[in-house]
Amino acid sequence: MAEVLRNSDHVAFALRLHTALTASGPAAGPGTVWSPYSVACALGLLATGARGATRAEVAALLGGDLDGALAALDRAAADSPDLASRTVLWVRPDVPVRSAFAADLRRRPDSDVRAADFAGDPEGVRAAVNADVAATTRNMIRDLLAPGSVTPDLLSILVNALWVRARWVTEFDPARTFDRTFHSPGGAKKTAMMHHTGLMPHARADGWRMVTLHAHDETDVDVLLPPEDSPAAEPDAALLTALYRDASPVRVELALPRFDLACHRELVPVLASSGVRTLFTDAADLSGVSPVPLRVDAVVHQARLRVDERGAEGAAATAVMALAAAVFPVRPVPFVVDRPFRVVVRRRGAILFLGSVADPQDPGPAR
Confidence bin at 4 (pLDDT 50/70/90): low
The answer to whether the beta carbons of residues 346 and 244 sit under 8 Å apart is no
Alpha-carbon dihedral 20, 22, 27, 33, rounded to 10 degrees: 150
Mean of all residue pLDDT scores within the chain: 91
Q: Which CATH architecture has domain 34-163+261-324?
A: 2-Layer Sandwich (3.30)
- Predicted local confidence at residue 66, as pLDDT: 80
- Coil vs helix vs strand at 267: coil
Q: Do the first three CATH levels of 34-163+261-324 and 167-259+330-357 match, i.e. the same topology?
A: no
User: Which string of b and e fits 134-151 if b means at least 16 CB within 10 Å?
Assistant: bebbeebbeebbeeebbe
Give pLDDT tens digits for 71-117.
Answer: 888 888 887 889 999 999 999 999 999 999 999 999 888 899 999 99
pTM comes to 0.90
Q: Does 191 have pLDDT greater than 80?
A: yes
- The alpha-helical segments, DSSP class H, found in the chain are 2-6, 8-24, 36-47, 52-62, 66-76, 99-107, 122-136, 237-246, 268-273
Tell me the C-alpha distance between 336 and 225, whole Å: 9
Q: Does 32 have pLDDT greater than 50?
A: yes
- Predicted local confidence at residue 232, as pLDDT: 82
Give pLDDT tens digits for 107-149.
Answer: 888 899 999 999 999 999 999 999 999 999 999 999 999 999 9
Give pLDDT tens digits for 245-269.
Answer: 999 999 999 999 999 999 999 999 9
Q: Does 31 have pLDDT greater than 80?
A: yes
Q: Does 316 have pLDDT greater than 90?
A: yes
- Coil vs helix vs strand at 42: helix
- The residue ranges of every structural domain in the chain are 34-163+261-324, 167-259+330-357
Phi, psi of 134, rounded to the nearest 5 degrees: -60, -40
Q: Does 7 have pLDDT greater than 90?
A: no
Give pLDDT tens digits for 210-223.
Answer: 999 999 988 999 99
- Predicted local confidence at residue 123, as pLDDT: 97
Q: Does 2 have pLDDT greater than 80?
A: no
What percentage of the chain exceeds 70 in pLDDT? 96
The answer to whether the beta carbons of residues 145 and 319 sit under 8 Å apart is yes
197: alpha, beta or left? (left if phi > 0; alpha if psi -120 to 50): beta
Helical axes 66-76 vs 8-24, angle rounded to 10°: 90
Half-sphere exposure of 212 (CA within 13 A, CB side): 23
The answer to whether the beta carbons of residues 261 and 246 sit under 8 Å apart is no
Could you tell me which of 318, 287, 291, 290 has the C-alpha nearest to residue 302?
Answer: 318
Give pLDDT tens digits for 280-289.
Answer: 999 999 999 9
Say whether domain 167-259+330-357 belongs to CATH 3.50.50.60.
no
- Predicted local confidence at residue 328, as pLDDT: 40
Give pLDDT tens digits for 319-360.
Answer: 999 998 874 455 677 888 889 988 898 988 888 889 999 988
Task: Using the Cα atoms of residue 356, residue 357, residue 363 and residue 366 in order, give the sign of their dihedral.
Answer: positive
Give pLDDT tens digits for 151-179.
Answer: 999 999 999 999 999 999 999 999 999 99
